[in-house]
């Protein structure tokens, strides 16, 4: 209905009115047109809660936002492997959007965790495309079931923070389709998000905001996407080219400059008005869609949402170690609680997703509330670069020495992982590691509660009895932690990513995040457990791993047929029994591998999963359906999904390294793999991945696999600075030095920020392209001024002055 109404409304508009709707009104609102009863609707950041800014606006989480529930971020929600929970959290987030009159919440983020160093990994779901797509689809379904839209992001191949606004993701077609696009595909086909947000980066040398292959050919034609495509904030490259490619909405406002370009392009014949009509219809349709679902006076139950966040954090908690079944603790136990995260938890990441919670639970208060006797020591400073305080460590050891157990809250501070920059190491702060080592030496029953958004190294793992990974568990993380420590609930999470033994073992070690604006995905499809399992490298903790307070047995594993051909489905079934004395959840994972393939493949790939909750002694039968895509690979030569015939193995287990049953299956293929015979002969390194060290295939192999021209780099070189250049590019020029000094002065003068915020601001300021800087200046910098500055950066001062003198 909204679509047909949108067509009728747009048919009445003049050219200027249509063009005006193609960019934002301000930082967070779309334009409306009162003449057609179209209100200016609001979109806001998310997606693990609402970040609505009513005052000063920004896209980095710097300025204040309205109080909202901070649910567990994506890193934790994915660890639940629980579609129903994601749907429930989504519905709750939507209720808060309705109260605040927000039409679209910007998320979820489904970019693949290509490297454990990715600065924004806490905001993404998994290293596995199936898991990321399934949880995203459920979250979208929950949000949109209440009449609030979503914006799945960042489309596509945006897997790092370094130079994210200008870098070129050079990824072969097979890896692009199988790994990086699949989460978007699953979510689009299953949940039809109202909007898709394109990323800043280039893919194959074309910015995502004007990439017809991504926005039109794949997203709309192949996947059947019906909604609107918007930019990430300031991601427009060429506005008219973007509309032609399938980009609808530019955010934020651009002062009417790009709207005028659209009008001029239509009048000159460079842009067909029919294309603009379609774009405008999508924008109007979105406005009408929300208008129909708007609920003035809506409210939500804060206590109920907090309780849901607490339950979600428990269901996502991953028990990595529990030697001698130390956990759960008796409520009568005398314990030492150590670590300032117990009082001031690390519960979310930094940047645009940073929520202003209406409450944050304190583990000390929670323990007092249930009558647990404990002593407390802070153990370390919340400032990560503070020198080691041996007095704090001595105090922690003193209170821990004679206790039944010592509970240490440790992890990554805010400054360690954030939007805007990637991590440089997998290490915890030295103060945290030193504290754990010291306490474990005086108390054999040491438990470490980890709060972090991505994998970390645990050099003390064999010296402590138990490790409970809470990830970033939202505002209720510490009350959920107390519930888990005392056995009031059981940990229900499994790892949605691999924890490596060291950084050097990770797939793209040695070339992540790339150089000279190029992110070369040399590892191709071998990401996450696909890399570790194929190379035989033992991780610290494998994908899908997680212990419980009870035990399970999996039996009666079966498939309903022994052969498979395209167009059919096959069902894998198994009986799961809780053989322990406590309630708990087990996650059954189904992987598929092939023996004797003529194309390089991972050893196995996740093709289905099902989580089951069981009381002691209870049994349930689970069923997981496999279809064509469960056995398919992307054939770049044929430009389609294909199935190679041969002997496959269905592997059922409880992690990628814990397989309890293997069932052979004969699959009939289509023979298209023969089209790849010459390519496979040119890429032998991908058949023999190294078991140790980094993987850097010869250039001729990777570029044979990539099979596209690789553009050169000029914009970052003196004499070639342009609108895509950054302050990092010009920092060594004489004018650049003074320009940066002035920018830093202005930035610091606006607000005195924390180290965390300053790190984000510095990273963003140095890497933002000049064309985007114009939009983010709020009108302080015009295109003419920037053109002049670019001339100055290039040493062409007379030309720059002429730019400034132009009318």
791 burial via Cβ count (<10 Å: 0-12, 13-18, 19+): buried
For the residues of 734-802, what is the DSSP string, one character each?
A: HHHHHHHHHHHHHHHHH----HHHHHHHHHHHHHS-HHHHHHHTTTSS-HHHHHHHHHHHTT-HHHHHH
Distance, in Å, from the CA atom of 339 to the CA atom of 448, rounded to the nearest integer, reads 10
Contact between 669 and 598 under an 8 Å Cβ cutoff? The reply is: no
- Catalytic residues, by residue number, are 232
In terms of Cα–Cα distance, which of 314, 414, 431 is closest to 378? 431
Count of CB atoms within 10 A of residue 681's CB?
9
677's tokens = 């015979």
CB 169 within 8 A of CB 158: yes
CA–CA distance, 138 with 127 (Å, rounded to integer): 18
SS (H, E, C) 88-143: HHHHHHHHHHHHCCCCEEECCECCCCCCCCCCCHHHCCCCCHHHHHHHHHHHHHHH
Q: For residues 171 and 178, what is the distance between their CA atoms, to the nearest angstrom?
A: 11
Q: Burial letters for 503-520: b for 16+ Cβ neighbours within 10 Å, e otherwise?
A: bebbbbbebbbbeebbbb
Per-residue CA distances from 341 to 132, 379, 436, 451 (Å): 28, 10, 14, 8
Closest CA to 476 of 336, 339, 330, 305: 305
Q: Locate 654 and state its tokens.
A: 């409880």
Give Cα 444 distance to the centre of its chain: 37
Q: Tokens representing 61?
A: 């989480």
Cα 51 to Cα 65, 224, 346, 691, distances in angstroms: 6, 30, 18, 44
* Token couple for 363: 């583990």
C-alpha span between 762 and 9 (Å, rounded) = 45
The rounded Cα 490 to chain-centroid distance in angstroms is: 26
Alpha-carbon distance of 88 to 123, in angstroms, equals: 18
Q: Rounding to the nearest 10 degrees, give the CA dihedral for residues 641, 644, 650, 654.
A: -50
DSSP bridge partners of 67: 356
Count of residues in the chain: 807
Q: Are 114 and 124 in contact (CB under 8 A)?
A: no
Phi-psi bin for 462: left (phi > 0), alpha (psi -120 to 50), beta? alpha
Tally the C-alpha atoms within 13 A of residue 299's C-alpha that lie toward its C-beta: 4
Query: Do residues 154 and 196 make contact, with C-beta atoms less than 8 angstroms apart?
Result: no
528 CA to centre of own chain: 14
Tell me the CA distances in angstroms from 394 to 340, 378, 390, 434, 772, one per residue in order.
15, 11, 6, 11, 51
Residue 776, C-beta contacts closer than 8 angstroms, at least 6 positions apart: 233, 234, 768
């Amino acid at each position: 209905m909204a679509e047909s109404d949108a067509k009728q409304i747009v048919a009445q508009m003049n050219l200027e009115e249509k063009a005006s709707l193609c960019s934002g009104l301000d930082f967070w609102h779309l334009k409306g047109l009162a003449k057609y009863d179209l209100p200016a609707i609001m979109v806001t950041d998310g997606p693990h809660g609402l970040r609505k800014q009513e005052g000063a606006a920004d896209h980095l989480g710097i300025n204040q936002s309205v109080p909202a529930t901070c649910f567990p971020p994506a890193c934790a929600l994915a660890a639940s492997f629980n579609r129903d929970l994601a749907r429930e959290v989504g519905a709750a987030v939507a209720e808060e959007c309705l109260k605040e009159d927000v039409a679209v919440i910007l998320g979820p983020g489904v970019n693949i965790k290509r490297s454990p160093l990715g600065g924004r990994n806490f905001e993404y779901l998994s290293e596995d495309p199936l898991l990321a797509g399934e949880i995203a689809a459920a979250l979208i379904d929950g949000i949109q079931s209440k009449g609030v839209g979503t914006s799945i992001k960042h489309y596509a191949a945006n897997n790092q923070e370094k130079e994210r606004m200008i870098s070129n993701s050079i990824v072969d077609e097979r890896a692009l389709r199988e790994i990086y696009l699949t989460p978007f595909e699953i979510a689009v086909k299953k949940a039809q998000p109202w909007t898709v947000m394109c990323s800043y980066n280039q893919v194959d040398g074309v910015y995502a905001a004007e990439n017809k292959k991504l926005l039109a050919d794949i997203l709309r034609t192949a996947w059947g996407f019906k909604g609107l495509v918007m930019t990430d904030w300031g991601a427009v490259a060429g506005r008219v080219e973007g509309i032609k490619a399938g980009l609808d909405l530019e955010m934020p406002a651009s002062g009417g400059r790009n709207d005028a370009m659209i009008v001029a392009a239509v009048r000159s014949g460079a842009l067909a008005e029919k294309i603009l009509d379609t774009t405008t219809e999508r924008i109007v349709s979105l406005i009408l869609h929300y208008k129909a679902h708007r609920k003035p006076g809506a409210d939500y139950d804060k206590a109920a949402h907090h309780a849901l966040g607490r339950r979600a954090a428990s269901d996502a908690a991953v028990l990595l170690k529990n030697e001698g079944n130390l956990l759960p603790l008796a409520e009568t136990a005398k314990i030492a609680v150590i670590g300032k995260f117990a009082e001031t938890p690390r519960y979310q990441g930094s940047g645009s997703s940073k929520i202003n919670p209406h409450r944050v639970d304190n583990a000390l208060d929670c323990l007092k509330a249930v009558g647990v006797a404990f002593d407390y020591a802070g153990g370390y400073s919340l400032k990560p670069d503070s020198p080691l305080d041996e007095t704090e460590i001595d105090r922690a050891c003193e209170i821990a020495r004679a206790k039944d157990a010592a509970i240490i809250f440790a992890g990554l501070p805010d400054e360690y992982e954030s939007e805007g920059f990637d991590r440089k190491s997998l290490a915890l702060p030295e103060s945290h590691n030193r504290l754990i080592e010291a306490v474990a030496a005086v108390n054999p029953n040491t438990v470490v509660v980890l709060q972090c958004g991505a994998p970390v190294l645990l050099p003390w793992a064999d010296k402590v009895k138990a490790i409970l990974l809470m990830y970033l568990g939202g505002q209720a993380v510490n009350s959920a932690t107390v519930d888990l420590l005392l056995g009031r609930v059981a940990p229900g999470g499994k790892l949605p990513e691999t924890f490596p033994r060291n950084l050097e073992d990770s797939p793209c070690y040695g070339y992540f995040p790339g150089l000279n604006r190029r992110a070369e995905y040399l590892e191709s499809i071998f990401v996450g457990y696909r890399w570790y399992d194929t190379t035989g490298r033992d991780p610290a903790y494998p994908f899908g791993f997680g212990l419980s307070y009870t035990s399970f047995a999996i039996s009666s594993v079966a498939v309903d047929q022994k052969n498979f051909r395209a167009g059919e489905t096959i069902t894998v079934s198994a009986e799961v029994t809780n053989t322990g004395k406590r309630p708990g959840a087990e996650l059954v994972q189904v992987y598929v591998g092939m023996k004797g393939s003529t194309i390089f493949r991972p050893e196995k790939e996740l093709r289905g999963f099902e989580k089951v909750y069981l009381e002691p002694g209870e049994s349930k039968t689970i069923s997981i359906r496999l279809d064509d895509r469960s056995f398919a690979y992307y054939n770049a030569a044929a430009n389609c999904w294909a199935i190679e015939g041969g002997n496959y193995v269905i592997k059922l287990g409880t992690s990628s390294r814990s397989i309890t049953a293997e069932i052979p299956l004969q699959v009939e293929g289509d023979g298209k793999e023969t089209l790849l015979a010459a390519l496979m002969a040119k890429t032998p390194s991908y058949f023999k991945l190294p078991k140790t060290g980094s993987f850097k295939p010869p250039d001729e192999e990777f570029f044979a696999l990539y099979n596209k021209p690789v553009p050169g780099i000029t914009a970052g070189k003196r004499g070639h600075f342009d609108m895509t250049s950054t302050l990092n590019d010009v920092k060594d020029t004489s004018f650049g030095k003074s320009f940066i000094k002035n920018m830093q002065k202005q930035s610091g003068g606006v607000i005195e920020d924390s180290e965390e915020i300053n790190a984000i601001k510095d990273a963003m300021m140095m890497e933002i392209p000049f064309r985007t800087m114009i939009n983010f200046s709020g009108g302080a910098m015009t295109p003419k001024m920037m053109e002049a500055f670019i001339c100055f950066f290039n040493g062409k001062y007379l030309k720059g002055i002429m730019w400034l003198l132009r009318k």
